Structure formats: structure tokens, C-alpha cells
């Protein structure tokens, strides 16, 4: 998938908002990233937990609960790796909300865990059903791994559902891993509160890649119990040691101005979400699209297909349009469509899908497809 990203002319695959330039970021407050400030920046190794200014900015925004601290990482991917390496041993059971972003299940498997899916059911629009979670929890469950708003469907838990989920984990022996990459990207209710405010056995994860439009910085964070910090640092010393002080300086400015970055992209995404739903509704039943309650991706089903992978390949080969085939999420009749791109790019992508669906239908009627 990565190589295709660089081949595409029209990208409606992304799960994050479209990207900002350094100039746009610097314009938020030029003095904070001025030449003099950067000239005085010392290129030394950073602290293992991350730059104090960046950690303070993240903490002020997410508000960790008692006994939890912020650790900044090379994207949320490093934070997730550290968590799985510290907490999972071969044979442990790990419950993962499914379908899932590949790292959430892949890291558990790599650590030797036994995966138990918590199914988010397509017939329910992928909305989480806590009865299904109860059914897969056991005394051997080491971790419960969730991602809300959900990638790829955009399904969410509301504040009441959040409380019930945290209570359910609290009454088990499991640790909760809460992937909050899309926390700020919600459409029907305010962003959910940081889970460590109400649960001790929880690690949560954030990133600048999704809501902030800064994936190239490769900066994320985790909110972790104080008692786990030394083990995470020990593992990190074998891997990356710390972040670049230059990158952390830029990231600190971004988090300190989070709303200025997030709000315009979220407004744009909400307009585009409406367009995607209108487009699907006009397909005369060919496209069944659950309403994304959060995030910036839709996960529609293509009712005339059992596997849309060939359709996705044609979109790239013939139109330069990149989407994500649902097969990578275990849902072969669906594709992930990202709608937080500039509106003209979204329109080109949707038009190409419509054209290919029409071509495919005509071919089948002629007996050639």
C-alpha cells in the first residue's frame, strides 16, 4: 500500500485530515518558530520521556488522570509497540475490537498473544455492542484494545458507552489500550474525556498524524501509569532512545495551537462527509454506507461485489485514484474512503468510482465482466 500512495494522483484513502505545510504551521505564531529560536536549539539527545514543553502541551490538552504521565514517541506506532512489548507475554489473551488497524492486531500476534476479536458488526453499522465484549472477556484476558472513533468505519462510543466500557474493563483483570488517534474528530458529540481520568489500568495513545494534519513529523504520545514508565523507557533505550529536539519543538507549537489546526480541517471534513453520504444514497442501492460518527473515513459496502480489490486496482491504474480495499480489514466487499481532502480531490475520486461501477455493470450485462 505504501508504494501506491506515492503513485496516486488523487488520494481518497487517507484516515487523517489533509496535510499542513511548515509555512501554515509557522504562521500560527512566527515568533515561536523564528530563526533566532531555532538557531539556539541544541542538537542533543532528548529526555527518554520526551521534551518537557511538548509533554506539558499534550498534558494540558488531554488532561491525564491521577497517577498517569505523558510520554512522547515516534508516532503512536512506537507507543503501541512499547506497550505491547511491556505488557504481553506468549499465550496471553488480547481482545481487539475488529475490524482493526493492522498494528493493533499485528503487534499482539508478534508478541505471541492469542487474539480474541470483539466483533463490531456491519449489520449494526459497526457500532460497539458491549454484550459482545463481555462474551469474549475471560480470566486470561491481558489486554483489551479499542480504537474510537473507529478506523475504518467511523463508529464511536458516546459518553455513556465510554463509561460502560471503562466499568467493564475495571471489573476484569485486563489492561485497556485506548487508541485515541481520532479523538478530536467527532461529528455528533464533543470529544470523549481521556480514559485515565476514570480508570487506573489504561494506556491511551495520540498522534499528530490524524487530526492535526502533520503526519510527516512522526510524533505521537502515550498516557501511561507512572508504575509502567521505567519499563517503557528500558525498552525504548534499545530502539529509538528519544525524539529529535527539532521535531519536538515543532510538535510543541502544533499542540499549543491545536484548535487552530484541527477546527478548519474538521469543518471541511463534515461538509465532505455529507457529500459522501449523498453520493452513496444516490447509487440506487449499489453502495451501502454506514454513517461515520467520527474520524474522516467511510467504509461503504458495494452490494454487487464480494471482493472490491479488483475495483480498487482499476481505480489506481485507470484514474490514479487511491482507496483502501476492505480486504485489509477482513471486509472484502467494502472499501475505505477518506473524505478529509480538498473538495475537488474528493469529487474526482467519487466520480472515478461511479464511472468504474458503471463500466463494471455494463460488462456483466454483456457477459464480459
Q: Which residue has the cell 520526551?
A: 50
Tell me, yes or no, whether 244 and 280 share the same domain: no
Better pLDDT: 32 or 245: 245
Residue-wise pLDDT for 187-208, tens only, equals 998 999 999 999 999 999 999 9
| Polymer length in residues for the chain | 369
Query: How many domains, in total, are found in the chain?
Result: 2
Tell me, yes or no, whether 224 and 334 share the same domain: no
Residue-wise pLDDT for 36-91, tens only, equals 778 888 999 999 999 999 999 999 999 999 999 999 999 999 999 999 999 999 99
Tell me, yes or no, whether 280 and 241 share the same domain: no
Residue-wise pLDDT for 96-118, tens only, equals 999 999 999 999 999 999 999 99
Tell me, yes or no, whether 351 and 272 share the same domain: yes
Q: Is residue 208 part of a domain?
A: yes
pLDDT of residue 32: 72
pLDDT of residue 4: 61
Alpha-carbon gap, residue 125 to 239, rounded angstroms? 39
pLDDT of residue 5: 59
pLDDT of residue 38: 83
pLDDT of residue 90: 96
Q: What is the chain's mean pLDDT, rounded?
A: 94
Better pLDDT: 2 or 320: 320
Tell me, yes or no, whether 215 and 311 share the same domain: no
pLDDT band at 365 (very low <50, low <70, confident <90, very high): very low
CA-CA distances (angstroms) from residue 236 to 55, 230, 334?
17, 10, 37
CA angle 61, 67, 72 (to 5 degrees): 50
CATH code: domain of residue 307: 3.90.1150.10
Task: Please give the helix or strand (H or E) that residue 54 lies within, else none.
Answer: helix 52-62
Q: Is residue 283 part of a domain?
A: yes
**pLDDT over threshold 90, residue 260:** yes
pLDDT of residue 1: 58
CATH code: domain of residue 226: 3.40.640.10
Q: What is the pTM of this model?
A: 0.93
C-alpha cell, 172: 476484569
pLDDT of residue 362: 42
CB 229, CB 69: distance < 8 Å: yes
Percent of the chain at pLDDT > 70 equals: 95
Radius of gyration (Cα) for the chain, nearest Å?
A: 21
Structural domain range at position 330: 2-16+260-363
Amino acid at each position: 500500500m505504501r508504494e501506491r500512495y506515492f503513485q496516486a494522483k488523487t488520494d481518497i484513502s487517507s484516515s487523517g485530515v489533509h496535510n499542513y505545510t511548515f509555512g501554515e504551521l509557522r504562521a500560527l505564531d512566527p515568533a515561536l518558530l523564528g530563526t533566532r529560536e531555532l538557531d539556539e536549539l541544541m542538537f542533543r539527545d532528548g529526555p527518554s520521556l520526551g521534551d518537557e514543553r511538548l509533554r506539558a502541551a499534550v498534558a494540558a490538552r488531554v488532561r491525564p488522570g491521577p497517577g498517569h504521565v505523558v510520554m512522547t514517541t515516534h508516532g503512536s506506532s512506537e507507543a503501541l509497540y512499547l506497550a505491547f512489548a511491556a505488557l504481553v507475554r506468549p499465550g496471553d489473551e488480547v481482545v481487539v475490537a475488529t475490524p482493526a488497524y493492522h498494528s493493533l492486531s499485528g503487534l499482539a500476534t508478534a508478541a505471541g498473544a492469542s487474539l480474541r476479536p470483539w466483533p463490531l458488526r456491519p449489520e449494526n453499522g459497526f457500532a460497539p455492542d458491549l454484550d459482545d465484549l463481555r462474551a469474549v472477556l475471560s480470566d486470561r484476558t491481558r489486554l483489551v484494545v479499542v480504537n474510537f472513533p473507529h478506523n475504518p468505519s467511523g463508529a464511536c462510543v458516546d459518553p455513556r458507552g465510554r463509561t460502560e466500557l471503562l466499568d467493564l474493563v475495571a471489573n476484569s483483570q485486563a489492561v485497556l489500550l485506548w487508541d485515541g488517534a481520532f479523538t478530536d474528530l467527532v461529528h455528533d458529540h464533543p470529544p470523549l474525556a481521556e480514559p485515565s481520568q476514570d480508570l487506573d489500568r489504561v494506556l491511551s495513545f495520540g498522534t499528530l498524524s490524524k487530526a492535526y494534519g502533520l503526519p510527516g513529523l512522526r510524533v505521537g504520545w502515550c498516557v501511561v501509569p507512572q508504575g509502567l514508565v521505567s519499563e517503557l523507557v528500558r525498552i525504548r533505550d534499545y530502539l529509538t532512545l528519544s525524539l529529535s529536539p527539532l521535531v519536538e519543538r515543532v510538535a510543541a507549537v502544533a499542540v499549543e495551537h491545536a484548535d487552530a489546526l484541527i477546527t478548519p480541517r474538521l469543518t471541511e471534513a463534515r461538509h465532505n462527509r455529507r457529500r459522501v453520504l449523498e453520493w452513496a444514497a444516490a447509487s440506487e442501492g449499489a453502495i451501502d454506507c454506514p454513517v461515520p460518527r467520527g474520524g474522516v473515513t467511510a467504509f461503504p459496502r458495494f452490494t454487487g461485489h464480494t471482493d472490491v480489490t479488483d475495483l480498487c486496482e482499476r481505480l489506481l491504474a485507470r484514474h490514479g485514484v487511491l482507496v483502501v480495499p476492505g480486504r485489509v480489514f477482513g471486509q472484502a466487499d467494502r472499501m475505505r474512503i477518506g473524505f478529509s481532502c480538498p473538495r475537488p480531490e474528493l469529487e474526482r475520486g467519487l466520480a472515478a468510482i461511479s464511472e468504474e461501477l458503471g463500466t463494471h455493470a455494463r460488462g456483466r450485462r454483456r457477459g464480459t465482466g
